[in-house]
Chains A and B, each alone.
Chain A
């Protein structure tokens, strides 16, 4: 039995030890926002936060999250109010096809949590592990800069 908290909600999951965290989120908990892209920790489509730190959920085992807190893209909006990063990606066109977007948004949220006023270099360094095959990188950087502006007190 794996006991984990996802987006503030505690869960008990009956899953074998070889279940990846990504599969646990998608198939045991029905949270299909996190995607599987490369499956080897490179592309960033499966980015989630484990105790606030961004990780690749495709190469983490679900048992790694036992007793810990996970944040996925489903946990960013408060009720109907989008997270500033989500709103900025919409306003600035920070995505095209959208497959990488949940990972991009979660990574960007983690960046602003760690560094509320990132430089362009900080953003590029933080986000370099989140690949976008539509190559919308300029708009992704612009979206994060815009989210940082509205998030700052």
Chain B
């Protein structure tokens, strides 16, 4: 690691002022799992590290106006164990539970993971299916972006120098909805997925037809992706096995995987179809249970 200045202010405004002063010479650190690893590998050589670890008020999980707001400094472990999240948005708690190991989840933060924008991460997949929005602050003000616009590419986000992710807000799906997150792990439980899939299915009153299905996929492109070709086959339809299989086949066209040691591009594309069917089946069953209540 190269040497750097380390600043750990207690107030967000102070952190934003330091970042404004240093521009792209500064890097933000929260949990450090991604950043310190990249520093150790000499992939980054910042002059200044601005820590958000001592900033107060960024680690809250709140439920208001039909949405859940996760502060940027909430750890993956906090999210996984949060009673609010487990009750109101269990698919998201479960997604955080599936990340890496408990050691990593104790360190890695919700906001840090988004800013890192590794296409193999799990939470952005579920957050994309849920329609999450990212809250951003800088010394001059505040803005909010849909997650789909926030993630721009491979390890690339819409964050400008001086900007910091402060929270993510996720709407709670309407009644008669069910959601799922699954990932295919041929090697170890703490590995990145070969393919990850999240689905949110909302049924029409009566529970026969699908009102809306949202599907997101991870590890099969430069960013987490929506399977829009698959989604359009499902709206207004009865979700029988044939319909789900057709959606899975359609999703092959939505992805652009690369070959690596977790599978060839062709294999990942084929597994995309399988994983979409499985995720939709689980989400449909959860939606039916919600409708029956």
Residues of A within 8 A of B (CB): 16-18, 20, 39-42, 44, 47, 50, 53-56, 59-61, 63-64, 66, 107, 125-126, 128-129
Q: Check: B103 CB closer than 8 A to any chain A CB.
A: yes
- The secondary structure that dominates the B interface is mixed
A44 in contact with B103 (CB, 8 Å): yes
A18 in contact with B106 (CB, 8 Å): no
CA distance A55 to B36 in the complex (A): 13
Which residue of the partner chain B has the closest CB to A103?
B103
CA distance A60 to B31 in the complex (A): 8
CA distance A42 to B51 in the complex (A): 23
CB < 8 Å neighbour of B53 from A18, A47, A55, A64: A64
Which residue of the partner chain B has the closest CB to A54?
B103
CA distance A20 to B6 in the complex (A): 13
Q: Chain A residues with Cβ under 8 A from B13's Cβ?
A: none
Q: Check: B241 CB closer than 8 A to any chain A CB.
A: no
CB < 8 Å neighbour of B190 from A60, A63, A107, A129: A129
CA distance A61 to B36 in the complex (A): 8
Least distance between A16 CB and chain B CB atoms (Å): 6
CB < 8 Å neighbour of B103 from A20, A39, A55: A55
Q: Check: B8 CB closer than 8 A to any chain A CB.
A: yes
Count of interface residues, chain B, beta-carbon cutoff 8 Å? 28
Given A55-B106, A56-B103, A128-B190, A20:B36 Cβ within 8 A: yes
A59 in contact with B5 (CB, 8 Å): no
Not counting A17-B6, A128-B189, a sample of 9 additional A-B residue pairs whose C-beta atoms are within 8 angstroms of each other reads A39-B40, A42-B190, A53-B77, A53-B106, A59-B37, A60-B36, A61-B36, A64-B32, A125-B102
A56 in contact with B39 (CB, 8 Å): no
Least distance between B108 CB and chain A CB atoms (Å): 9
A16 in contact with B3 (CB, 8 Å): yes
A59 in contact with B33 (CB, 8 Å): yes
CB < 8 Å neighbour of A18 from B4, B77, B100, B188: B4
CA distance A83 to B246 in the complex (A): 58
Given A41-B33, A59-B33, A60-B107, A18:B190 Cβ within 8 A: no
- Interface residues in B186-210 (C-beta closer than 8 Å to A): 188-190
Mark each residue of chain B from 1 to 45: 1 if its CB lies under 8 Å from any CB of chain A, else 0: 111111010000000000000000000010011001101100000
Given A61-B32, A129-B190, A47:B3 Cβ within 8 A: no
